Each structure stands twice: as C-alpha cells, then as structure tokens.
Amino acid sequence: MIVIRKQMIDKVTYRREYKDRYIPLIEYYRKKYHLKIEENCSLPSSFVASENEKNIAKVFIRKRPMFENEFSNRQFDSFMNARFIHYSDLNFLILNRSIFPFHWEVFNEETTTHDLSESSVKSILYNHFGTVFCFGQTGSGKTFTMSGMINLFSEDLFTQLPSSKRVTMTYVELIGESVYDLLNEHKEVEVRDGGEGEFVLCENVWVDIKDSTELQRNYHLAGSLRETHATRVNSNSSRSHYICRLSILDQDNSEFARLTFCDLAGSERNIDSFYHNSERLKESAAINSSLMALKDVMRALVLKKQGTNVRIPYRASKLTRILKDGFETLEKPTQTILISTISPQACDAEHTMNTLKHVCAIGNHSYHAENGKLIFREVISEPKLAHYKIEDQLKPLTKMDRSETLEWLSKVRGGILKSDLKKFPSNMDGKMLTKQAEKRLQQLLESEILGSQLRQEIIDYTNKCNQQKVEHIETIKRINK
C-alpha cells in the first residue's frame, strides 16, 4: 500500500524521493498531448485568440534546459510542452495537470536565442517606443537570454540605422527603491515627474554609441557591475533590476525613438530565502515588492483595455515609473515585449505555475486545472493500468474565476438568475461571492427571496464539494491498497 502523508517532508524532498515513479507517467502524457497538439484538438476553442486581438504586451515563453547538476540531484523535467505542466501533490502519490492557454510562441530548450530574437525583439526596431523585459524566478535564465538578445539586436540596429541619426545609451540598476548609474561611479539617480505625465531619469550619464561592438561592450560592462550575490538557487544571482535605455536622436538632438531593455531581478519563494541573512532578506522583500507592483500595473492595464475605469498604479514603485513609457506614451506608438523564462525542474513547479498564471492574466486568459487527478499505482507498467482518474470533480466556488462564477450562477435552480447576472460587480469571482452575506445578496438581486435562495445554494454547493473531497481521499486510499 502506498499512502504518503505530510509528515515532516517538504515538496522538493518528496518529489526527489519518488522521482522514479513520476517520470514514466509524465513521459506518457508528454507524448500523448504532444500528439493532440499536432492534431489541433488539445485546447478548447475559447483558448484560441483571434488574429486581431491586441494585448498590452507581446508575450514569449522560454523554457531553459535541465543542467547536469540538477539530474545528479534527482531532479526531473515536469514541463510537458507549450501548454501543460505536471506537479505532484504532497499528500499522496498524485500528479496534477494544469493547462495554460498560450496563443503566444513558446521556446523550449532546443531553440536558440537567435530564434527568440527573430520572433520578438527584432520587431521593436519599427516602433518609436519599445520596452523589452525578462520576467521569471531566480535561476530561470533571464540574464542569459537578455544578454544574447542585446548582442543580436545591436547588429540589426546599426545595420538599419540611417546615417543621419545617432545612438546614446544609459545604464542604471534599481536596488530596492534606489536607482544607481552603473557607468558613473554608481552615483544615485533621481526619477522625477516630467511635464506631460511621464517619468524622467535625472543626473544619469548618457554614452554615445558608434557601432554594435561598442553597444555590446558597454552593456556587458555595466551588467558586470550590477549587484549580485549567491543564493540557494543561483550562485551568481542578480539582486537588482538592470535597465538599459537606448535613445535614437535626430541631427537636431530631438528624440526620434527610445528603447528600454530591462533584466528584472528574479522572484523568490519563502523556501528560497530560508537561509538568507537579514540583508539578503531585505533585498528579496524589495525585489518581490517591485515585481508585485509591476504585476498590479499590468493587471490594471488589462482591465482598462476591457473598458473598466481604473487608475494605473505607476507610482507604486520606481520600477513601474521607469517602465511607464513602455506601456503608454502621448503621441508615439509603443510596443512592450515580455519574455517569461521558466525552470523545468519539478522542485520549481509551483513557481513556474505562478509565473505562467501572471502571463495568462496579461493576455486576459485564465489557466485551466483539469478535473480529476492522476493517481499512481506502486508498479507503473501499462499506462492504462498505471493511473486512475476520478471524473466529474466539482470545482469549489473559492477556486472559480469570474467567468466560471457567472456560469455557475446561470445554472442555479434551473437558471432563475440568468437575467440578473449583470447586477453582480465586474470584479466578483467565486471567492468573493462566498463571502457575501444574505442581506448583501438580497440588495444585489433586489429581491429578498432570490438573495436567500442564492445564499442557501452557495452553502449547499460548498458542503457538496467538501463531501466529495472526503470521498475522493477515501477512493485514493482504496486504489493505493
């Protein structure tokens, strides 16, 4: 009988311990769903974006390869393909599968930085204002990716640059809420309000760039001077946001175009910072705070694009102030490119899922956790006998997004609330719905009877989900005997 319970064992240790049981089933589903994708039948039609859809940023996913030292540490690749990721449950030998509805390009470990650059960064040459930033956890390959793309971009830039224009660049790093000039003795730089709602870097040095070689040399020199420290995940982890801003000037020194490259510091989980000293902990808190501010800005931009009247919180962090012109300017067209780097390791599965959920939010999509879980037998030989899937699992209201909540409401008591769906707030998801008192529901629906009935439905459905969870655990116990 195989029943592993939470007894002083963390997820990383657990997955490493049972690596040999997880890998065969992951391989089976990797092949199965890769075939489905080739047949164009793997994703619901609602996941496919129209050609005319415009998002706040062009998004690209890059998965780094597994390293030799990771294999020797009993790690394994849990990332199946462009849209699926597996992660193991801590209570029992269970494999969960989540689907991420990307209609963007996904670059795996077999692709090169040149492939990524051709699809992403090269396009910003045709825009007056462009911003490229790498986002992902510590050790997922952000700095490697950005450095390679700078080399390729610089060659394309000077090949197409008219002789009447010249290029200048500035290199700064953001540590906490302080900005420093990397090529001017690390002097502090001010971020001030401009005259037209923009934010301006002040007292920083601009360097004239004559060719691609000089651009690359300065970028890598400045990058070598940024703040780095060894962490649990990465022996040379960047502890600051590195921002390289390039300005293309006309003969009269007026700005023709501005391009910004931002190598963001890596986000960290609590377990990653467990052995940090007080200084490293403060760094991690500041990094995570600024990244959260950036995520809040992007979520607000998505809502604004949907027509919601919302304030964009650019002032929440100096990072978001500096990057503001990558999302909006008054006169000139902008293009923002987000390159999300992810780690394939099983121990990083939750962090990878977190990254991909934020990426989905940028594209106004919701990720999909499939009903049912894959449950292992002790011996995995024949795939059809190797797992058991529990069908028709009810999804708790607290786990439902807005669209799923509205669908659930439309089915309450045979659809009595279909004509009242517009009365619910635009930001109400399932979790918020469960917190509404009976009186509040009566006010929303403008009916004491409907409010009372809905509150009772919420209670009944929640009880049913809880009961099903108990039955689910009992089923797992029987299967694993």
Q: Are 135 and 338 in contact (CB under 8 A)?
A: yes
Domain boundary among 312, 343, 374: 343
Q: Are 157 and 212 in contact (CB under 8 A)?
A: yes
Q: Which of 97, 66, 71 is nearest to 344 (CA)?
A: 66
Q: Are 373 and 473 in contact (CB under 8 A)?
A: no
Q: Are 294 and 308 within one domain?
A: yes
| Annotated binding-site ranges | 136-143
238 domain-assigned:
yes
Q: Are 152 and 234 within one domain?
A: yes
Q: Are 307 and 432 within one domain?
A: no
Q: Are 176 and 242 within one domain?
A: yes
357 domain-assigned:
no
348 domain-assigned:
no
Distance in angstroms (rounded) separating the CA atoms of residues 266 and 26: 27
Distance in angstroms (rounded) separating the CA atoms of residues 97 and 353: 11
282 domain-assigned:
yes
Q: Are 183 and 304 within one domain?
A: yes
pLDDT recorded at residue 6: 39
Residue 263's DSSP bridge partners are 134, 242
pLDDT recorded at residue 438: 92
HEC-encoded secondary structure of 396-424:
CHHHCCHHHHHHHHHCHHHCCCHHHHHHC
Residue 267's DSSP bridge partners are 137
Q: Are 101 and 157 within one domain?
A: no
60 domain-assigned:
no
Q: Which of 70, 105, 74, 87 is nearest to 29 (CA)?
A: 87
Q: Which of 363, 346, 321 is nearest to 71 (CA)?
A: 346
For the domain that residue 204 is a member of, what is the CATH number? Answer: 3.40.850.10
Domain that holds residue 430: 397-479
The pTM assigned to this predicted structure is: 0.69
360 domain-assigned:
no
| Annotated binding-site ranges for ATP | 136-143
Write the single-letter amino acid at 421: L
Q: Are 71 and 86 within one domain?
A: yes
Q: Are 137 and 255 within one domain?
A: yes
pLDDT recorded at residue 74: 78
Q: Are 382 and 418 within one domain?
A: no
For tokens 């989980």, the residue is: 269
Distance in angstroms (rounded) separating the CA atoms of residues 124 and 201: 22
Q: Are 384 and 326 within one domain?
A: no
Residue 202's DSSP bridge partners are 190
356 domain-assigned:
no
**CA 89, 137, 374: angle at the middle one, nearest 5?**
20
Q: Are 224 and 84 within one domain?
A: no
Q: What is the mean pLDDT of each run of 10 residues along the chain (481 residues)?
A: 39 73 71 54 38 64 86 75 48 57 73 87 74 87 91 90 90 90 89 80 90 93 75 57 91 87 77 59 79 86 82 90 76 77 83 78 55 38 42 78 90 89 88 92 91 92 87 62 51
Give the total number of structural domains in the chain: 3
324 domain-assigned:
yes
Would strands 188-193 and 178-181 be described as parallel, antiparallel, or unpaired? antiparallel
156 Cβ partners below 8 Å, 6+ apart?
122, 125
pLDDT recorded at residue 442: 92
pLDDT recorded at residue 173: 92
Q: Are 304 and 165 within one domain?
A: yes
pLDDT recorded at residue 386: 42
Q: Are 371 and 395 in contact (CB under 8 A)?
A: yes
Would strands 129-136 and 199-202 be described as parallel, antiparallel, or unpaired? unpaired
